[in-house]
Each structure stands twice: as structure tokens, then as C-alpha cells.
Amino acid sequence: MKPSFKTLVSCLLFCMSMSLFPNSVFSAITKSETPTEASFGQNVTNLVFTWSTDAHRKGNYKSAVMGYSLVSFSPYLKEKEQMFIEAHKVLADNGISIETVKPYYEESPAIINKKHEEYMKANYAIEQMPAYDPLGDYQLMGLRKEYKESGEARFDSKGLPLIKYDDGFFYNPVTISQYSLTMYGRLMNKFNIEVSTQAMLNGADKLLELQNEQGAFPYNFRYHHYIQNSELQPGWVSSMAQGQAISALLRVYSYTGDPKYLKAADKSFEFMLTSVEEGGALDSTQDLFSKLGLENEGKIFLQEYVTTPKNYTLNGYMFTMLGVYDLSQSPSQYAETAGKCFTECNETLIEILRFYDMGKITTYDLGHLMKEIDPIINPPYHTIHIHLLQTLYSITNEPLYRYYALMWENYVTYHSS
């Protein structure tokens, strides 16, 4: 329950009496010309928040936390404002400067505004992801994801989806992994257990067929990626394919106990550690920071799409991280190595998240920083980014994941009570 107006003012007066807020704050409030209770309360809220952010900018984190905490109880805050304050309190609580999270991008206001409007009109739902369980319903797919035939997708004799590309219909390793994960999730939710079990196994067994001797899950079709002139040729690889296959295979292994699935997950991780120079998807951020003229030795980055120039796709990287984490929590022979890899991946993500922040919405990748083009903003992926950050926060308790999840949700929350 939110406190009353009188309680809010009493708290402020108490803080004044303890010299916790400067008298200038109180003076500014009382200078209002015959304010109504509501307008006076709004003034209290606004001025304490302004004082708090000023303290935060000056590095007075304890004072900022106190101010954010007080103002968060204001009955005059709208949901959007509440989210904003909570996000900044997370920073101050952890001694993180506001400057650290300042968005970094070359302004392209027209495209940013357009994509933000598209998002708001589409009314995408943002849920709160539960604490992540490496053997649970993956990103709630069992409850949320459905598969239907269309002009872009059809099913084989076992019900497995094939996706339409330029040269026909093909099995997509990520789609097959997500199909198996969805059926596993339905199984965990006790939905049509017999059918879900068989569908899950069909998906996992198809992954075994798609995996090559090196452990890769290659895409057997041509694909045009916007950032480069030439097409990706059949056999191209992706870190996301490796990571989501690991997540699917480990869950099926936990359910069946069949070691072939664990072995395939291990092989997938082995290939994941293959560098782009050697035909894999393991890369670094060195080229990105060099392009930006920033000093950085380069940290690990797992590319969903291996292109020239590089693109640094965000959702694919975070999905890959979940696969690495899942392996670190499994009986895999590579569990310890995967744990170290996950730690390194987190260090990278913490450092580069601000580059995806457009101030109103997020960008799909960093192609616009590697090439003179507008940011690629795909509105539904903004929600995916938020959900993945919620999930990663539940695993790591990393404050910047919490901050960005809140701020990015704040960007697309209507300014209403």
C-alpha cells in the first residue's frame, strides 16, 4: 500500500530535521503559490527526485539511494516513473555512475521514433520471467510458443517444422531446438504428456541428425544477411544454433537419461569454442572497440551470424549464453570450462549493453557501429531483449542486467497510472 500524502510530507520533514536533505529543497517546495494537496505532493516528489539524481551524478550514492527510496513511496508516481526510479536506485545501490549507462549511438531520430511508435502500436506483452532453471521450461516456451503451418512454414511426417528460404523448405537448427524445448516445456507443465514427450524426442533426434562430425549444427541453405554483399553459403554456422541445441539436448538428457544427448551437447560446446578464423563463431569485441576508437583489448563474443563486417547480434548472444550456463550446471565433462566461459561472456555483455540502447528502444545488433547505416531495430526483439536480461539477472544477480531490463521496459510503458 502506498503511503498517504501526510506520510510522505512527514518523511520529508524528518529528513530535513536530520539534515539529510538541504533546506533549499524544502524552500523550493514551500514557494508554491497556494498549492493543492496533489500539486504540493507532486512538487515534493519531483524535487526529491531531482535532488537524488543530482546526488547520484556527484557520486553521493548513499544519499541518492535514500532519496530514490523515499520518492519511490510517493502516491503521485505513475508506473513509468516508478520503473525509472527503481532502475536508478539499482545503480546507486551498487555504486554505479549514471554516466556508465549513458546510451552510446550516432543519433538517427527518425528511425528510432518510427520503430518506437511501431512497438507501442503493436502492444507487445512484457512478462516477468521466473528465476531461471537449467532444467525448467525454457523462457516459458511450453506456455507461450505455438507452431502452425503457413506459407513460410510446414511440417514433416513427424510434425517437425521446416522453414521456407530462397531455395525451398529447410530444417533450421534453432527452430528445431526451440521446437524440442517447447515440447519439453509442455511436458513440464503436464500438457498432453504422451504427445509432448514424443514430439520432444523427435526434435532432439533431428538435432542429432543435423549435427556434423565437428559438433556443428550447420545451416544447409543460402542466407542473405543485410550487412554484407555476399550471401552466407550452405554450411554456415551460428553460436545461437550451438547454444540452443545444448539447452534442448541437456533437458532431453535429464528426462531420458540417454547419454547420446549429453554427448551431443558436449560436441556442440566443443565446436562453439572454434574461432571464426577456423570456421566457427567464437569472436571478440576487439574490432568493435577499434571501430569506435575506444581502448579495449577485446573480450569474448559469440556471433549468431558470422559476417564481414561483424554485426554483434544481441539476442543470439544472450541465447547462446543460456546454453553455456546450462552446460555449466550439467554433468558434462566441460561443466567447469563452460562456467568460466559463461563468466567471460557476462563480462562482455556488461561492457557492451549500452551500445544497444537507442534511448527509446533497443537495436537488434551493432551493424550501425560497424558500417555507415541506420540502426537495425526490430520491435518485437525489444521484448526478447528484456526477457533475456530478466533471465540473466536471475542467474547472475548482475545489477546492470536489472537496470537495463527496467529501463528498456520503461521506454515502452505508457505514461499512465
Give the closest residue to 391 by CA, choosing from 314, 299, 319: 319
Give the pLDDT mean for 386-404.
Answer: 99
Rounded percentage of the chain residues whose pLDDT exceeds 70: 89
pLDDT at 25 over 90: no
Comparing 69-78, 256-265, 285-294, 370-379, the range with the smallest average pLDDT is 69-78
CA distance 340 to 324: 9
284 bridge partner residues: 300
Nine cell digits for residue 286: 576487439
For residue 35, pLDDT over 70 is answered with: no
Backbone angles phi, psi at 105, to 5 degrees: -165, 155
User: Measured between alpha carbons, how far is 57 from 138 in angstroms, rounded to an integer?
Assistant: 39
Q: Where does 34-192 show beta strands of DSSP type E?
A: 153-155, 161-165, 168-170
The number of beta carbons lying within 10 Å of the beta carbon of residue 400 is 23
Q: What pLDDT does residue 108 have?
A: 74
Tens of pLDDT, residue by residue over 125-157, are: 999 999 999 999 999 999 988 899 999 999 999
Structural contact between residues 282 and 273, judged by C-beta atoms closer than 8 angstroms: yes
Note the pLDDT of residue 1: 53
Whether 21 shows a pLDDT value over 60: the answer reads no
- Check the CA dihedral 273-274-280-282 and report its sign: positive
- In angstroms, rounded to a whole number, what is the distance separating the alpha carbons of residues 249 and 265? 6
- What per-residue confidence (pLDDT) applies to 31? 44
Cβ atoms 377, 357 nearer than 8 A: no
Q: How many CB atoms lie within 10 A of CB 59?
A: 12
pLDDT for 8 beyond 70: no
pLDDT band, very low/low/confident/very high, at 4 (cuts 50, 70, 90): low
Tell me the pLDDT tens digit for each residue of 268-321: 999 999 999 999 999 999 999 999 998 888 899 999 999 999 999 999 999 999
Cell numbers for 324, please give them.
553455456
| Average pLDDT value over all residues in the chain | 91
* Percentage above 90 pLDDT, the chain: 79
The pLDDT, as a whole number, for residue 288 is 97
Of the candidate ranges 41-50, 149-158, 212-221, the one whose mean pLDDT is the lowest: 41-50
The residue ranking higher by pLDDT, 373 or 75, is 373
Which cell numbers in the block locate residue 395? Answer: 542467474
Q: What is the DSSP letter of 233?
A: P
Sheet holding 153-155, edge to edge: 153-155, 161-165, 168-170
> Nearest Cα to 248, choosing from 171, 144, 316, 175?
175
In the predicted structure, residue 30 carries a pLDDT above the cut 70: no
The C-alpha atoms of residue 216 and residue 245 are separated, in whole angstroms, by 10
Least confident of 36-45, 161-170, 294-303, 339-348: 36-45
Q: Is the pLDDT of residue 2 over 70?
A: no
Other CB atoms closer than 10 Å to residue 22's CB: what's the count? 11
Task: Supply the pLDDT for residue 186.
Answer: 98
Rounded to 5 degrees, φ, ψ at 274 are -85, 130
